Structure 1
C-alpha cells in the first residue's frame, strides 16, 4: 500500500508505504548509494548519486537524467540519522556544479521506518516553509514523482 496526503494547512506532504521486508532491508535502499540510484527519481528520470554521506551534517548530491538527456541536480543536507529507524534532511535543488539554487524552495524531509504487520512501514513527510513553496513543488510534480519513485522500491527488496 502506498498513499500520499497533501495538507496545505499544515504545509506537509506525507507518503506512507508498506513493504514485505525487514526495516533493515528497506533502510538499506537509502543507505547504499547504488541501490538508491535504482529507485530515487521517477522511472523516466533515473538518479545518479554523486556524494552520499548519511551522517548528521553529511550531504547527498545527485542528479536525475530526463528522457531527453536533461539533467536536474539536487542535494540533501542530513540533519539527523538513527539507523535503521529514521533519517531527516533538508532537500533542495542545485545547479550543474552541485551548488544550491537559492531561488528554489527547500523542504525538510523526515523518513521513519517501523515494523508493521510482518514487514515495514515507511513514512516520508516533507514540511514546507510556506504554502506558496509547497504549491510550487506540487505543481512541478513532486507528489506524483515521489509516488512513482517509491513504487520502484518493492522490486529491489527480497
Structure 2
C-alpha cells in the first residue's frame, strides 16, 4: 500500500558497509512528522506491520532514555524490543540502539543491537525522513532481511503515511499556517451548542469542521466510558469572529467532575508554535499563581495545561500534537 505514489520512497542494502538506508517523504510539515516518530501514543498507531500492533510500555525520549515496547500478534503473543536513545536533536535527528529484549528491557536474543539514525528535512507540506540502519554483522543483517524486514518496514511506513494523511488533516484544516495564535476558550454547563448557534447567527460565519461531541471520544484502555447523558454534548467547537479571532468552547458537565462559575468559565488560550515556547509561557505566566492542570501530553491531542495567574486571570497553553481522539 502506498497512500501517495508521488512521495519518494527508496530502500537500499549496502553489503560492504553492512547498512540499510531508507528515504521516505511524508505529506506533512516537519513538526508533525517529528511528533509521529517521537510520541509513544502516536508511535503505537503505526509502528507495526499489519496485522501486528505496537504497544509501548514506557518511553523516555532523551539521551540515555529508552522505549520498551511489544509487537503484539493476532493471538495476543508479545515480542518485546527496546530502543536506547543515544542522540536527540529536536526536529533534526535522533539515534538509538534497537535490541530484542524481554518486557523489562533485558536483552534476550543472540542478535546484537542495530544502530539507527533517523534524520528529518524539508518544510511546509513535505518532510523527508532518511533512516540509516547499521549492524556489526553482515550475516545478522542478511538474516533480518530474509525474515521480511524490508517488506514489513515498508508496510509500516505506508501506514504512517496513511496515519498522517488521516489524523493530521484536521490540523491543516483548522490552522492553515504555522503562526502562533491567541483564542478565547469558553466553558458551558451543557448549552454550548445553543450558545454557538446564537454566536454563529451574529457573526455570520461557519463552524470550523463542525461540532465534535463527547460520543466521538475513542474508547481507550484507562479512560472510563462516556456517560450516556452527555454523549450529545459538545466536546469542542470553533467559530471565527472578527479579525482572525477564533472563539472555542466545550461543555463542562458535572458528570465528568466539572463545576462551573463565572470565574472559571473563560480562558485566554495561547497556541504557540513549539512545545519549548509553550513550556516557557506556562512556567513564566503561572509563577506565583495556581496550576489547575499541569502541562503534559493529553489523550485528546495536545501538549496542554491550565492555570490561574497571580492576578486571577485564567490561561490555557495548547500545543497541538495531533494525537487526535477521532
Look up the SS of the partner of 1:153 in the other structure: helix
5+ residue gaps, structure 2, are 1-7, 169-326
Does 2:86 correspond to 1:79? yes
Give the Cα separation in 1 of the matches to 2:132 and 2:113. 13
Residues 13 and 143, structure 1, Cα contact 8 Å, conserved in 2:
no
5+ residue gaps, structure 1, are none
Q: Pick which of 32-41 and 98-107 moved more.
A: 98-107
Give the Cα separation in 2 of the matches to 1:36 and 1:117. 22
- 1:117 Cα offset (Å): 8.2
Does 2:126 correspond to 1:101? no
Look up the SS of the partner of 1:54 in the other structure: coil
1:1-150 mapped onto 2 (5 Å cutoff): 1-115=8-122, 118-150=125-157
Query: Structure 1 runs of 4+ off > 2 angstroms?
Result: 95-98
Per-residue deviation, residues 113-143 of structure 1 (Å, max 9, x unmatched): 0006851100111011011111121122222
Look up the SS of the partner of 2:17 in the other structure: coil
- 1:40 Cα offset (Å): 0.4
Per-residue deviation, residues 63-86 of structure 1 (Å, max 9, x unmatched): 001123221100000000001110
Residues 14 and 123, structure 1, Cα contact 8 Å, conserved in 2:
yes
How many residues of Structure 1 are paired with residues of Structure 2 in the alignment? Answer: 158
Look up the SS of the partner of 2:159 in the other structure: coil
**Structure with more relative contact order (C-alpha pairs < 8 Å, separation 6 or more):** 1
Question: Taking structure 1 as the reference length, what is the TM-score of the superposition?
Answer: 0.93
Match of 2:194 in 1: none
Give the Cα separation in 2 of the matches to 1:128 and 1:57. 20
- 1:49 Cα offset (Å): 0.6
- 1:152 Cα offset (Å): 0.9
What value does the CA root-mean-square deviation take over the aligned residues?
1.5
| Higher strand residue share | 1
- 1:26 Cα offset (Å): 0.3
Query: Which of 148, 151, 157 does residue 158 from structure 2 map onto?
Result: 151
Residues 12 and 126, structure 1, Cα contact 8 Å, conserved in 2:
yes
- 1:155 Cα offset (Å): 2.2
